Chains A and B, each alone.
Chain A
Amino acid sequence: MLALNLLKYELFSRWGVILGWGLGLGLFGIMYVAIYPQFEDKMAVLSEIPFYKAIGIDLGSFEGFIASSLVLNVPVILAIYVIVSSSDTLAGEEDKGTLELIVTMPLKRWQIVTTKAIALTIVTFMVLMITGATSALTLIWVRQSVEVNVSTSELFVAVMSCMPITLVFLMMGLFFSAWLPNRKTAATAATVVFLVSYFAEILAGIVPALAVIKPFILFHYFDSGATVFFIGVQAKDVWTLLVIAAIFFALALISFQRRDITVGQWPWQRAKAGDTLT
């Protein structure tokens, strides 16, 4: 059973985030969709750049341009929010002292983690919905001046396809927040994993010898090419990311179950009885 009132508070306290990030990313989407007609002729030249080709960016078509700019950048930008807020959720609240009162309520610890995870997931989903909707609405206007092979619903779905990989970073942040001693460490660890994953995907696209590591890179399971419009979102990739997110969530549950609140220690730092005092 969820702590519904806690969920209500968590959502209520984040309505500004939904609005701010939703509108911010929405404007980002509007900008990329609306800007294309102005640069359509020049984009063909950019598409010949070998570096872009190597990392799978195709700027020669509207579909490729939107995928390589909007669809690729949305989860990157949104990762900043989910890492900051998920690491703030447990370790951050512990640092601030508000977690002590919540854990002394008659709630099981898994209820607290699950409620907070659901709240963050809903917020992230809402932000993406706003981004997808505003981008799709802009497309209706753009289609009057440029010939495109993307429908508004395809664009909306492509933006929403950012959800699984964003969810992975969210749950990863939550896990680090439950496992590591403070918010700063948790946010740093999640950011490092994110950056390594992002740049490893680029490098693996440039250096053929690194192709072997692709299955271990999170962004490998996220399609930010024009294929996302033509072939659609790959269910296998979505499930892979959702399973990884679920694993991080399970690790967060286990870590929080064992966590000593207010102590701020690494799990292995706790001494056993009989240890020599220093």
Chain B
Amino acid sequence: MTDHVIETKELTVYYGHQRGIVDVDLFVRRGEIFGFLGPNGAGKTTAQRVLMDVIRPTSGRAAVFGLDCQRQGTALRKRVGYLPGELSLYPHMKADSFLRMLASLRNANVNTSFRNQLIERLDLDPSRKIHAYSRGNKQKIGIIAAFMSKPELLMLDEPTSGLDPLMQQVVLELVREAKEEGRTVFFSSHNLPEVQAVCDRVGIIRNGELVRTDRVENLTHQQFKRLQIRFRTLPATDAFTIDGVKELTRDESSVTLEIRSGFAEVMERAAGYGVEDLETLPVTLEEIFLAFYDEPDEDDDRVSA
């Protein structure tokens, strides 16, 4: 039996002739935090909406807990807490009533003390009408709604959007706690430091296509290396003109290189100038992500969704 909570096969969505996502093959394992990365319009929200049966795929398959998203949507949605990226709430309801309504619609036995804990940790006064809240407070209501029934899968689209840095940390703690309890989190974001902070694996989506999925540490180690080399004799400016190598900075004794390929040749050439010290500089997920987006793409028509 598979331990994949989410599984998609050649999942494709078109909006008319515009592309949403194309041939997305993805899986998310039980108990992991999966980060879904991409800029606005890359297709993150489209993929989540298909999984929640808000929109239907043009082709391909999508399953959550082994249940077909379209045919068995009701059963699977009982087990999912969803926070939409574009959250809209009923403005004339009080936050408290709204949360109680959602709990009853889910037929979920919401633990009141856990819900109150969430309210307290997110510093929300639930007695006010929703239209009176700021954007950040509305986002908190959405987060509480997603978490309060302790669902097996949390599907969060830009969960920290609109929150102040303190509250962002609270949300990330909640995500970590969900993982500790063995629950799965599908976390869509374009805030890369927070993805790096909490996610086990990430998928990078570009123009509707999933270009890479891997563990965060693999991505940050394998995509490219950044070396700072200190020389006895400073090499000529064209010393490292090699395919896949970019010289980033140089001073009187050292050169910093970004190396995507040709590592052996770099070492060979560097040896000729007398290497005194060599240091691997850390590469952030953000830089990896930007590197993916630096690569040219012939078909660059993105759609918003």
- Give chain A interface residues in 232-278, CB to chain B under 8 Å: 258, 260-263, 265, 269-273, 275-278
A106 touches B106 (CB 8 A): yes
How many interface residues does B have (CB within 8 Å)? 39
Alpha-carbon distance between A265 and B53 when the two chains are bound, in angstroms: 16
> At the interface, yes or no: B92 with Cβ under 8 Å from chain A?
yes
Alpha-carbon distance between A102 and B93 when the two chains are bound, in angstroms: 14
> At the interface, yes or no: A41 with Cβ under 8 Å from chain B?
no
Residue numbers in A under 8 Å from B299 (CB-CB): 277
Alpha-carbon distance between A237 and B296 when the two chains are bound, in angstroms: 67
Nearest residue, chain B, Cβ from A272:
B58
B54 touches A6 (CB 8 A): no
A206 CB, min distance to chain B CBs, angstroms: 46
Between-chain CB contacts (< 8 Å), 21 pairs: A3-B105, A6-B105, A101-B102, A101-B145, A103-B53, A104-B53, A104-B54, A105-B105, A106-B77, A106-B105, A106-B107, A260-B55, A269-B16, A270-B16, A271-B14, A271-B16, A271-B17, A273-B14, A275-B17, A278-B18, A278-B301
- Give chain A interface residues in 92-151, CB to chain B under 8 Å: 96-98, 100-108
A78 CB, min distance to chain B CBs, angstroms: 23
Residue numbers in A under 8 Å from B86 (CB-CB): 97, 100, 262
> At the interface, yes or no: A9 with Cβ under 8 Å from chain B?
yes
Residue numbers in B under 8 Å from A105 (CB-CB): 77, 102, 105-106
Alpha-carbon distance between A107 and B105 when the two chains are bound, in angstroms: 8
How many interface residues does A have (CB within 8 Å)? 33
Q: Which 5 A-B residue pairings sit nearest by Cβ, starting from the closest?
A: A97-B88, A273-B59, A5-B104, A106-B78, A260-B55
Given A5-B104, A105-B102, A277-B301, also A263-B15 (CB < 8 A): yes
Alpha-carbon distance between A142 and B18 when the two chains are bound, in angstroms: 66
Chain A residues touching B, majority SS:
loop
Q: How many A-B residue pairs have CB under 8 A?
A: 103
> At the interface, yes or no: B206 with Cβ under 8 Å from chain A?
no
Q: Which residues of A contact B (CB under 8 A)?
A: 3, 5-6, 8-9, 13, 96-98, 100-108, 258, 260-263, 265, 269-273, 275-278
> At the interface, yes or no: B44 with Cβ under 8 Å from chain A?
no
Residue numbers in B under 8 Å from A101 (CB-CB): 82, 84, 87-89, 102, 145
Encode contact with A along B9-25: 1 for CB under 8 Å, 0 otherwise: 00010111111000000
Encode contact with A along B174-186: 1 for CB under 8 Å, 0 otherwise: 0000000000000
A262 touches B17 (CB 8 A): no
B14 touches A275 (CB 8 A): yes
A192 CB, min distance to chain B CBs, angstroms: 25
B92 touches A13 (CB 8 A): yes
B46 CB, min distance to chain A CBs, angstroms: 9
Residue numbers in B under 8 Å from A9 (CB-CB): 90, 93, 101
Alpha-carbon distance between A106 and B65 when the two chains are bound, in angstroms: 15
Residue numbers in A under 8 Å from B90 (CB-CB): 9, 13, 98
A278 touches B58 (CB 8 A): no
Query: B16: which of A98, A106, A265 is its contact (CB, 8 Å)?
Result: A265
Residue numbers in B under 8 Å from A261 (CB-CB): 49, 54-55
B82 CB, min distance to chain A CBs, angstroms: 5
A68 CB, min distance to chain B CBs, angstroms: 39
> At the interface, yes or no: B169 with Cβ under 8 Å from chain A?
no
Alpha-carbon distance between A278 and B74 when the two chains are bound, in angstroms: 35
The interface centre, meaning the residue of A98, A100, A104, A106 with most chain B CB atoms within 10 A of its CB, is A104
Given A97-B87, A271-B17, A276-B17, also A262-B54 (CB < 8 A): yes
Residue numbers in B under 8 Å from A260 (CB-CB): 54-56
B58 touches A273 (CB 8 A): yes
B231 CB, min distance to chain A CBs, angstroms: 50
